[in-house]
Amino acid sequence: LQLTPCAIVIFGATGDLTSRKLFPALYNLYAYDRLPEGFVIVGTGRSEHSEDSFREKMRESLEEHVPDYDRDLWRQMVPRLFYSQLDYDDVDGYRGLKERLEEIDASEEVRGATQGNRLFYLAVPPTLYKTIAGKLGEAGLAAHEQEKGWSRIVVEKPFGHDLASARELDATLHRSFAEDQIFRIDHYLAKETVQNILMFRFANAIFEPVWNRNFIDYVSIIAAEDLGVGHRSGYYDKAGVLRDMFQNHMMQLLALSAMSPPSRFHADRVRDEKSRTYRSLRPFNVPGEFKDLVLGQYEAGEVNGKRVPGYREEPNIPEASSTPTFAMLRVYLDSWRWQGVPFYLTSGKRLTRKISRIVVRFKEVPHSMLRGVVDQAIEQNRLFMGIYPDEVIHMYFMAKKPAPQLCLQPVIMHYGFEDSGGAPKLEAYEKVLLDCIMGDQMLFWRQDGVELTWGFLTPILEMCEECGELEQHLHRYPAGSWGPEQACDLHPGYYEDVITKT
Ligand code: BG6
């Protein structure tokens, strides 16, 4: 896989995502000398911009988000930036874009350096994905590896809002692009600590033999946030936590924790194993009695010492909204490896602190030689894989406390990412952009995974949204807590999993 030259064409180039994430990431990659020799960035969107005003806008985004950017480097980067205005619905606009890209390629500054390769990044609302993908195809901009170079399309979640709409979106994308041209981003996969899960599991001989129902009591996957719904109320109130966090990040973390080793570290082999894991998800007990599910919504409270409003008091959230901002799901995988082992997936907004981690609790010792000798329980071994804020792997095990009398205590074996040196870590968007340019789909969703996870979650969503009883199942929790108390009824180890310091 190589970093090939290309034109990075950003749809929604003057929008929020571009200025907050994409452009700073592109600038940083340029500063680290990680972009290919022949690259250009072509912004496109509905707004009128001259080349100069677009460049100025990108400079402003750096002022705001990378305040210590190198002014000289910026001046060197400027001639690589272009703008081309278009109306998303009008195919002629896309034909114009095609001509513009050819002109840029033929220009004195670029001299064909992009080799006709194009990466289309859709930094626009998902409602526009279908239109843009379709029109790119109609305008002849979706070519698959031909003489004139490749084209690839990058989309971000949500990939639809249920199984049917995910399929519909995919059908449209596929009308113009083949699967290996479509890059569906999940920024969790770009986190170093998340990538490390597979290395930890499969590049060591000692963990895999115990990674199953014989030794593991439960697996708890937690993505707790202290932030509220922020400025995204319009989107969030329709999505809720199950669509916002579960269909994507939580399911990826589940697959990485539970999948079997692939035969090769290759995008499709790895994604095959993930899909096999999703296929083994035991369908939820629908119409269930919410026995494997706790939903919650935050009320006013105090987070990090600051009073914050409840979800229903947030700007633009309907007063009677029953959108869940917290969910805990107990899922089972029907396989020989995992039969009977609960996987608790928990995520919520306005919780005590931001923490993302996976906790694996091992079974009790089969027999305690200390029974009747020491009045102290032997704690079960726990393995913590910290994703945020502590990027660590901690194994808790029991040891003798140095003392004349017999006394046990849990102690930690520690591995910290920051201790291990290496090159500067790439931010999620930097990593994702590089992989798209290289054509490496390892860290991206494949459509079968998208459909399998929607297939699993859609009946749960329907049960929640159509049963008309959601209100009675939606537990209120004060902002700044760890969620509704009922979470501990479903998963008694929950508090310990979140409060244990790593
Ligand atoms: C996004 C969700 O995908 O992930 C947000 O839409 C959430 O609601 C975010 O806050 C969490 O990501 P991270 O990297 O901050 O854990």
Alpha carbon 275 to chain centroid, angstroms: 17
Residue 349 Cα to ligand 1 middle (Å)? 10
Average pLDDT over residues 219-229: 97
Distances (CA, A) of 131 to 17, 50, 118, 136, 439: 19, 25, 18, 9, 24
- pLDDT tens for residues 167-222? 999 999 999 999 999 999 999 999 999 999 999 999 999 999 999 999 999 999 99
- What is the band of 469 on the pLDDT scale with cuts at 50, 70, 90? low
User: What integer pLDDT is reported at residue 467 of this predicted model?
Assistant: 65
- What is the band of 452 on the pLDDT scale with cuts at 50, 70, 90? very high
Residue 187 Cα to ligand 1 middle (Å)? 8
In the predicted structure, residue 110 carries a pLDDT above the cut 90: no
Q: Ligand 1, atom 8: nearest CA belongs to which residue?
A: 244
- pLDDT tens for residues 376-433? 889 999 999 999 999 999 999 999 999 898 889 999 999 998 887 777 788 889 999 9
Atom of ligand 1 nearest to the CA of 225: 10
- pLDDT tens for residues 267-300? 999 999 999 999 999 998 766 668 899 999 999 9
Between 463 and 79, name the one with better pLDDT.
Answer: 79
For ligand 1, mutation pick of 16, 191, 249 (most atoms within 8 Å of CB): 249
Ligand 1 pocket list (CB less than 6 A): 225, 244, 356
Residue 190 Cα to ligand 1 middle (Å)? 13
- What is the band of 352 on the pLDDT scale with cuts at 50, 70, 90? very high
Q: Compute the distance between CA of residue 85 and CA of residue 93 in angstroms, rounded to an integer.
A: 8
pTM of the complete model: 0.95
In which element (H, E) is residue 153 found?
strand 151-156
Residue 157 Cα to ligand 1 middle (Å)? 11
Q: Ligand 1, atom 6: nearest CA belongs to which residue?
A: 244
User: Mean pLDDT across the chain, nearest whole number?
Assistant: 93
The lowest-confidence range among 108-112, 253-257, 381-385 is 108-112
- What is the band of 145 on the pLDDT scale with cuts at 50, 70, 90? low
Note the ipTM here: 0.99
Residue 256 Cα to ligand 1 middle (Å)? 18
DSSP alpha helix (H) spans, 177-324:
192-202, 233-241, 251-258, 267-279
249 is catalytic: yes
Atom of ligand 1 nearest to the CA of 239: 6
Q: Which of 49, 174, 231, 249 is catalytic?
A: 249
In the predicted structure, residue 148 carries a pLDDT above the cut 90: no
How many Cα neighbours within 13 Å face the side chain of 447? Answer: 17
User: What integer pLDDT is reported at residue 289 of this predicted model?
Assistant: 65
Q: Tokens 């698959």 identify what position?
A: 144
- What is the band of 75 on the pLDDT scale with cuts at 50, 70, 90? very high
Average pLDDT over residues 319-327: 95
Average pLDDT over residues 214-233: 96
% of the chain exceeding 70 in pLDDT: 98
